[in-house]
Amino acid sequence: MDAVDLKTITQANRAAWDASAQAHAQGDDWAKLLTGFAEGGFSTFDDCISKTLQTIDLAGKTSVQIGCNNGRELLSLAQFGAIPALGIDQSAGFLAQACQLAKVANSDCTFLCADIYDLPETTPRNHDFALITIGVLNWMPDLAQFFRIVAVLLAPHGRLLIYETHPVLDMYDPDAPNPYLPERSYFQTAP
C-alpha cells in the first residue's frame, strides 16, 4: 500500500472516532468508569483476558497500549501489577477522556495523540509489556508495518499480548431473544 493511501485511511478513521467520542463520555457506562477508577481496585477486563494477564509476571513492568481509546484498559493493567505508562491513540476526543480517567485513578501514565504509523521520534520506547485489544487490528491498513512499529516500542524481551475477537461475532446480538441467530450481515458497510 502506498503512503498516500495509508494516510487517507488513517485520517478518515480518526475523524470517525473523534465524531463518536462525545457519545461515550456520558451515561451509566461512563459514570461507572469514573466511579470505579476513583475508588481503586478496578478493572474493565473480562474473565478471559484477566486469566491470561494473571499468567504473566507484570509486577513493576511498564506497559504501553496501542489504540488505547479512553484509557480504561491501560489503567486496568494496574490491577495486574503493571505500571500503566503510555497509551497511544490518534483520537484526541477519546484521549481527553483517558486523561480524565487517569486523573481520577491518580495514575502517572501519559497519553500520546498520534497515528501509530507516524509516531514522533520522541515517543518513549523500551516498554516491558505492550497490549493490543479488541477493535484495533481491523483498522490497520498495513499490518506488517504496524507490527514493526510495535516491536520498536518494546524493550528487548518485552512481551506483547493481543486480545481480539473475530468480526463474525459482530453479526450476533447477545441480548436478542435468540442470540444464536445472526442479526446483521457480515458485509455491512455502514458505520
Ligand X SMILES: C[S@@+](CC[C@H](N)C(=O)[O-])C[C@H]1O[C@@H](n2cnc3c(N)ncnc32)[C@H](O)[C@@H]1O
> Measured between alpha carbons, how far is 100 from 92 in angstroms, rounded to an integer?
12
Residue 28's identity, in one-letter code, is: D
CB 177, min distance to ligand X, A: 27
For 177, the 3-state DSSP assignment is coil
At closest approach, how far in Å is the CB of 68 from ligand X? 7
Q: Check binding of 136 to ligand X (CB under 6 A).
A: yes
Among 25, 99, 100, 115, binds ligand X (CB under 6 A): 115
89 is a contact residue toward ligand X (CB under 6 A): yes
Task: Kindly list the distances between the CA atom of residue 164 and the CA atoms of 48, 66, 135, 149, in Å, as whole numbers in the listed order.
Answer: 11, 13, 7, 19
Binding region for ligand X (CB under 6 A) out of 28-36, 56-64, 99-107, 128-136:
128-136
Closest distance of CB 129 from ligand X, Å: 16
Residue 25: CB atoms within 10 A of its CB come to 16
In the structure grid, which three cell numbers stand for residue 95, read together?
484521549
- Single residue of 42, 43, 62, 73 touching ligand X by CB under 6 A: 73
> Between 63 and 69, whose beta carbon lies closer to ligand X?
69
Is 63 a binding residue for ligand X by CB under 6 A? The answer is no
* C-alpha to C-alpha distance for 112 and 85, rounded to whole angstroms: 11
Give min distance, CB of 138 to ligand X, in A. 8
Indicate whether 67 belongs to the interface with ligand X (CB under 6 A): yes
Instruction: Among 94, 102, 109, 112, indicate the residue that binds ligand X (CB under 6 A).
Output: 94
Strand duo 127-132 + 110-113: pairing: unpaired
C-alpha 99/C-alpha 112 separation (Å) is 10
Q: Give the H/E segment covering residue 66.
A: strand 62-66
Residues engaged in binding ligand X (CB under 6 A):
10, 13, 17, 67, 69, 72-73, 89-91, 94, 115-117, 133-136, 139
